[in-house]
Structure 1
Amino acid sequence: MGESRFERYDRYERSLVDVLNLLNLAAPLAPSGDERNDPQARRSWQCTVAWMIMRETVPPQPEELFEPLMLAAVYEPDPSHTQRLIRPALAAFGRRRVQTRLLEYLRTGTDYEIIGAADAWYCTYQRVTGSDTENDPCTDLRHAFQATGLRIFLANDHPGVRSRISTLLNLRADDNPPELRPLVSEVLSIVRPA
């Protein structure tokens, strides 16, 4: 994917610390020395910080929190933990803003960022009390995701990108607008070769 796991961990950890600083929370002691090379020690620290963020982030939040929180969500290495960062982003900034930013990551990101943005996109459909996520279904953004996802799948042959994107696409031709049906057919020919 171009970056080593530890390079991605470094980037993820920097974004977590940025979020903690903006929330005026003290970071727990991070792994140092030999522990920096131990994936389990680093993941334990990352998960602890992500839980702190999820518990503390309630609206309203400063504007400066948005980008570090989104970066942390995209760089979260475990898709099952992404919701810990997306939930507070949805509560503080709303589904429309979060999904719009994720679409930008999908369109311009590295392979790793595309995969992370797809994981985060999946989490944006959860209900979050006290935010506009309940009121705005963002149907236009769902359509934009479908079109973007189909194009990414066809243009990017990275197996991780294709695998993650394909699970989020609606590949029923009749459910897609006429202009996307040829793309759906192309994707299906790759997913289900003859």
Structure 2
Amino acid sequence: MDEVRFERYDRYERSLVDVLNALNLTAPLTPSGDERNDPRARRHWQCSVALMIMREAVPPQPEELFEPLMLAAVYEPDPSHTQRHIRPALAVFGRRRVQTRLLEYLRTGTDYEIIGAADAWYCTYLRVTGGDTGDDPCTDLRHAFQETGLRIFLANDHPGVRGRLITLLNLRAEENPPELRQLVSDVLRTVFPS
């Protein structure tokens, strides 16, 4: 396992522990010794904790959960598991707040955080039942994501960042507002140089 993956695992595990602490739950023993270097052992622990969090009832004053849940979503190493953190965040805090925070990660984060925020953004369109926050479509934030994603794609040549963003961007010029059409053209020229 490379150092970048270990760094993401470390940050992800710290955010999971913060969520557990906010919920007054006890974390299972973390892998130690040789197991600490075994990606499967670490992922098993991470998935166990993420499932504990999903099953736990949200406390009456959940404010202290917001940032740890968002960090867990951004640092989740497996994009297919990101919804384990986004679902409870959407149910408690609503789509607008969750998407606004993810846009901040996109705009100011490291390459790894940008990739994680893009993975999490994809999950913010899940329908969540049982939440008190309503189902705001956040059209203005979709527009902000499109513009931010296009600009990041053009400014950041990290293949992981570009690869993740390109799957989420609408590259049909006619479906974009006039002020974004030049950015779409620039992205298309980058992807398909003549």
| Common fold: TM-score over 0.5 | yes
Q: Which amino acid aligns with 2:91?
A: A
Matched, 1:118 2:118: yes
Q: Structure 2 vs 1, CA of residues 151 and 63 (structure 1 numbering), >3 Å: closer, same or farther?
A: same
Residue equivalent to 1:76: 76
Answering whether residue 184 of structure 2 is matched by residue 184 of structure 1, we say yes
**Deviation at residue 125 of structure 1 after TM alignment:** 0.2
Measured in 2, the distance between the counterparts of 1:21 and 1:9 equals: 18
Spell out, residue by residue over 1:84-135, the C-alpha distance to the aligned partner (whole angstroms, 9 max, x if none): 0000100111000000000000000000000000000000000001225652
Cα distance change on mapping 1:104 and 1:3 into 2, 3 Å: farther
How far residue 193 of structure 1 moved from its aligned partner, in angstroms, is 2.3
Q: CA deviation at 1:62?
A: 2.0
**Conservation of the 8 A alpha-carbon contact between 1:119 and 1:164:** yes
Structure 1 residues not aligned, in runs of 5+: none
- The residue correspondences of 1:158-173 to structure 2 (distance < 5 A) are 158-173=158-173
* Superimposed CA distance per residue, residues 7-34 of structure 1 (whole angstroms, 9 cap, x where no aligned partner): 2111110100000010111111110111
CA contact (8 A) 1:59 1:92 kept: no
Q: 1:118 to 1:177 in 2, by over 3 A?
A: same
On the 8 A contact 2:23/2:59 being kept in 1, the answer is: no
- Runs (4 or more) in structure 1 with deviation over 3 Å come to 57-61
Instruction: Specify the SS of the correspondent of 1:26.
Output: coil
Q: Is the 8 A contact 2:89 2:98 kept in 1?
A: yes
- Matched with 1:151 is 151
Given the two structures, how large is their TM-score scaled by the length of structure 1? 0.95
Amino acid at match of 2:186: E
Q: What's the offset of the Cα at 1:76?
A: 0.1
How far did residue 6 of structure 1 move? 1.1
Distance 1:143 1:47, change over 3 A: same
Unaligned runs of 5+ in 2: none
One-letter amino acid matched to 1:92:
V
Query: Is 1:67–2:70 an aligned residue pair?
Result: no
Secondary structure of 2:126 counterpart: coil
Q: Deviations over 1:42-71 (max 9, x none)?
A: 010001101111111536442111001100
Aligned residue pair count: 193
Distance 2:14 2:76 in 1: 12
AA aligned to 2:113 is E
Residue 190 of structure 1 deviates from its aligned partner by: 1.4
- Amino acid aligned to 2:36: R
8 Å Cα contact 1:59/1:91 also seen in 2: no
* Letter aligned with residue 50 of structure 2: A
Kindly report the root-mean-square deviation, in angstroms, between the aligned alpha carbons of the 2 structures.
1.5
The amino acid that maps onto 1:144 is A
Contact 1:69 1:85 in 2 (8 A): yes
- Percent of aligned positions with the same letter in both sequences? 85
Aligned to 1:89: 89
Q: Which residue of 2 aligns with 1:103?
A: 103
Give the match's secondary structure for 1:4. Answer: helix
2:94, 2:135 within 8 Å by CA — same for their partners in 1?
no
